[in-house]
Amino acid sequence: MPNLITEELAFERLLAGGVVAVPTETVYGLACLAESADAVARVFKIKNRPSDNPLICHFHSVSQISAYVQPLSETEKILFDHFSPGPLSLLLRLNENSPLYPATRSGRTVVVRIPAHPVFLSLLKKINKPIAAPSANTSGRYSAVNTQMVLEDVGALTDGILEGGECVNGIESTIVEVSDKQVTILRPGVIGPDDLQDVLQSNEIDVPVRYGTTEQTTPGTKYKHYAPKTKIREITSPDQFSSDKRVVFISTDEYTSRIQNVHTLSLGSLQYPRQIASALYQTMFKLDQLHADEALIFLPEINNKHWQITIRNRLNKMLSSS
């Protein structure tokens, strides 16, 4: 595949102010030095990203994060200690005159994460600088979970794609904000409220974990996201789908198996909701390859509250007209 580069080349190009697509365990990211205003501006240009939408920043350790943000609370330390490296991101307050202001669009907070993907984590340790890395896709489109998806969207505009295989989670990290009174899930993701609550209770931290919002703008929460190029509409019952050779039916195994003689795409079985979440973006990619006139999606109720909220969050953003 053209435009694939080695970790050494990725290291050299990032340090030189370049932009490189990198693998994470969630989705592929479009990486640059977070302190470089020029490199950050190029990421915004490649993605056609709204200028007020800050970038998530990646670090190799809690000690590295601590040099850029205000002192961590005990709760924040516990969450980092248990879930990092991994698919948990925290909204933190920056130090005064922070060098991360290019990535945060001059905001006083930053969303940070320590990724678990061995290739990206190795690169972060080698560079030893914060790396801004929003998802490697055009803004508004579905995130990429493999190099083919990156290449067919923004790959040619980058300084290379660092191969890291298929993203094991296939959906973005959970973003949380910690206060004295509660832990708020700002963006649902791989890690759910029960996971967070169990860790806090085992460390005698007695605060609730809730879904919610914040006054701060955080990645993936403000604008339309995750949409395919193909027109897509949601239906509330599979009975609303009528056979049409130019229309694709998207649902779970339990419902696509009932449809005959038309294109269907399955998200997986309702018995495995995590796999449905992981398959969502690849399914949208497959849909675009069919060049259909339209797709109708039916998402049945998922018998797992966290995964129902997480998948519904992505679908609502996908179908949003804002």
Q: Tens digits of per-residue pLDDT, 134-164?
A: 999 999 999 999 999 999 999 999 999 999 9
**pLDDT (0 to 100) of residue 257:** 92
pTM for the structure as a whole: 0.94
**pLDDT (0 to 100) of residue 101:** 95
> Nearest 5 degrees, angle CA 311-CA 313-CA 287?
60
Q: Where are the domains of the chain?
A: 4-211, 232-319
* 232-319 and 4-211 share a CATH fold: no
**pLDDT (0 to 100) of residue 123:** 98
Tokens of 249: 């039916």
Confirm if 159 and 19 have CB atoms less than 8 A apart.
yes
CATH superfamily of 232-319: Threonylcarbamoyl-AMP synthase, C-terminal domain (3.40.50.11030)
DSSP structure string for 249-304: EEE-HHHHTT--SS-EEE---TT-HHHHHHHHHHHHHHHHHHT-SEEEE--PPPSS
Count of other CB atoms within 10 angstroms of residue 138: 15
> Nearest 5 degrees, angle CA 8-CA 171-CA 241?
135
**pLDDT (0 to 100) of residue 243:** 76
Q: What number does CATH give the domain 4-211?
A: 3.90.870.10
**pLDDT (0 to 100) of residue 322:** 41
Confirm if 273 and 307 have CB atoms less than 8 A apart.
yes
**pLDDT (0 to 100) of residue 221:** 58
In the predicted model, residues of the chain with pLDDT beneath 70 are 1-2, 216-224, 321-322
Using the structure block, give the residue that is written with the tokens 């339309």: 224
| 282 φ, ψ (degrees, to nearest 5) | -65, -35
